[in-house]
Amino acid sequence: MKKVSFIIMAALAVSLSLNAQTADTIRLIDNIFSQWNNATPGVAVAVERGGEVLYNKAFGLANLEYNVPNTTETIFEAGSVSKQFTAAAILLLAKEGKLSLDDDVRKWVPELPSYETPITIQHLITHTSGLKDWGSIYGLTGWPRTTRVYTQELSFDIVFRQQSLNFPPGDQYSYSNSNYVMMVLITERVSGMRFARFCNERLFEPLGMKDTRWRDNHRDVIPGRATAYSAARGGFILNMPFENVHGPGGLLTTTADLLRWNRLLKTHEIFGEHYSALRIEPGVLNSGRDISYAAGLQIGTVNGFDEISHSGATGGYRAWLAYYPEKDLSVALLSNSASFNPGGAGRAVATIFLGSPERERRAAPPQPDFIDIPTANFSRFEGIFFNEANNSVTTIEIREEGLFTGNRRLRPIDADTLWSNGTRYTVTGDGNLMVISPAGASTTLLRVDEAVTDESALQQLEGEYYSYDVDVTYRLAVRDGQLWVDRMAGDSFRLNPVFFDAYRVGGAFYRFERDRRGRITGFTISVSRASNVPFSKIR
């Protein structure tokens, strides 16, 4: 009898200990989302480990006007978390032998321009095609996304108009939604079905994802959907994605359905082992270097554990879905607030289960021996240097204390090289600047001339410029000694000089082009995800 009592007491002690651990875990997760309440939009959070849902809660309001709370069944838009579903549709067709990942995209989409190097479907999947992002390009019209209705067909047309690529296919990785709108079109042409129907019949229904669908008509009424918001003027404003473009984003779903989807990373249902492995196989560049992007999934590590993940952001919606195979752990977050940080919150949740890493103290880079060079030799380092890869500018100037770039002092270590905090700046024989990072990566910056800002020089840039790629006309004029762009009624902005024939406004970089006689023929604009979009002078 005493033995039985001891066993019962021991079991009770273990149960109490486990309950205490569970309560502590729940409290830690709750704290991460404590700022979301009945006066704010919010977030739904679900955590599953080993097939058991350990946490499933919602915070904040789904609709601020009607005071409707978010629940664990609220439907949100998943942003770019959607991409893995689009890639999955393509992989399913490949599994069935209806297409090959090595197919030239023009086999299925002949409207795409014929570039010097063919783009394959695999290039689309891993964002290595070089296609410019359709939304970034159309933002140059003055109508960035969320400011007007975009149709799926318009996104196709924007891609078809691009006369050039960001880079030769396979040479680089550059995240571009154009890749995934092309994959939607391929899926439709190969399957003979609308993309939304194909995914519903082949993916969502078989997996029991009853609350998941594509936002292929933004005017549809979706019962139980949260409204998306952005913070503004001390409160909130609506920030809904009023567009029909889907595939790169646009998946309407719940945290419960995302957990169901994530189980495929363990069970290999639908795809089988080979194509399940392709879902998480990182892309490879022409150089042989691996990238971290697979089939709509980012492959990395967190706290020493493998992480398969993706974040999402469209309008005011935010999303995060991650899987940690060594722990069989899934974390799903969906939010209707633009200020929510899904990746940061998602990894904070994961860390509760994975543990925090031991932080290694990084040693300062060893300091080389500095030398003195004559002040007269400083001028060979002085100048403006341009990085064509990212349109950044480095200026080295002479001050009383020595040579500086911004607030950082550059100290000479030989007649041609300056040093600062592990980075070396070497003037080459042609006067350009080679920058070598502490990790050993080298970049050549081109020496450029100073900006010319007198009115007569600026007047050479006046005129009308048309871009076929964007289908828009810009009118440039000098007003009060400065160069202005008039894009449409009520939409004018000033270009700020950077160096000779180069200007910047916000995140857009303008570079003018001249013929052999020095006459202006046009300019290019580079923005995030779209480089050197051409404009030709028409007047």
List, in sequence order, every residue forming a beta bridge with 482; answer none if it has no partner. Answer: 479
**DSSP run (H or E) holding 324:** strand 317-324
Q: How far apart are CA 91 and CA 379, in angstroms?
A: 58
CB atoms within 10 A of CB 216: 19
The token pair that represents 31 in the structure block: 């704290």
Q: Own/partner pairs for 221-227, CB < 8 Å, 24+ apart?
A: 222/75, 222/252, 224/73, 224/74, 224/75, 225/62, 225/74, 225/75, 225/76, 225/252, 226/41, 226/62, 226/63, 226/70, 226/74, 226/75, 226/76, 226/336, 227/41, 227/62, 227/63, 227/64, 227/65, 227/336
Q: How far apart are CA 86 and CA 250, in angstroms?
A: 11
Q: How far apart are CA 510 and CA 177, in angstroms?
A: 23
What does the DSSP assignment read for 379-436?
A: GGT-EEEEETTTTEEEEEEEETTEEEETTEEEEEEETTEEEETTEEEEE-TTS-EEEE
Q: The domain at 375-448 falls in which architecture?
A: Beta Barrel (2.40)
DSSP 241: -
Buried b / exposed e across 294-321, counting CB within 10 Å, b at 16+? bbbbbbeebeebebbbbbbbbbbbbbbb
Listed residue (536, 519, 461, 533) closest to 494, CA to CA: 461
User: Which pLDDT value is given to residue 14?
Assistant: 43
The token pair that represents 337 in the structure block: 């607030």
Q: How far apart are CA 405 and CA 18, in angstroms?
A: 57
What does the DSSP assignment read for 439-461?
A: TS-EEEEEEEPPP--SHHHHHTT
Helix, strand and coil in the chain, % to nearest 5? 25, 30, 40
Q: SS3 sequence, 482-516?
A: EEEEEEECCEEEEEEEEECCEEEECCEEEEEEECC
Asked if residues 384 and 499 have their Cβ atoms less than 8 Å apart, the reply is yes
CB atoms within 10 A of CB 333: 29
Asked if residues 255 and 334 have their Cβ atoms less than 8 Å apart, the reply is yes
CATH of span 76-131+166-353: 3.40.710.10
User: Which pLDDT value is given to residue 357?
Assistant: 74
**Which residue is listed with tokens 């904070």?**
348
Domain edges within the chain: 76-131+166-353, 375-448, 455-537
Asked if residues 496 and 481 have their Cβ atoms less than 8 Å apart, the reply is no
Note the residue count of the chain: 539
> Do 455-537 and 76-131+166-353 fall under one CATH topology?
no
Per residue in 153-190, pLDDT (tens digit) is 999 999 999 999 999 999 999 999 999 999 999 999 99
Q: Give, to the nearest 10 degrees, the angle between helix 83-95 and helix 177-191.
A: 40
Q: pTM for the whole thing?
A: 0.92
Give the CATH fold of the 455-537 domain. Answer: Lipocalin (2.40.128)
The token pair that represents 352 in the structure block: 């509760």
User: Which pLDDT value is given to residue 1?
Assistant: 55
Per residue in 87-125, pLDDT (tens digit) is 999 999 999 999 999 999 999 999 999 999 999 999 999
Rg for the chain, CA atoms, rounded:
27
Distance (Å) of CA 199 to CA 244, 246, 247: 16, 12, 10
Low-confidence ranges of the chain (pLDDT < 70): 1-21, 358-361
Q: Compute CA 83 distance to the chain's CA centroid, rounded to the nearest angstrom.
A: 12
User: Which pLDDT value is given to residue 77?
Assistant: 98
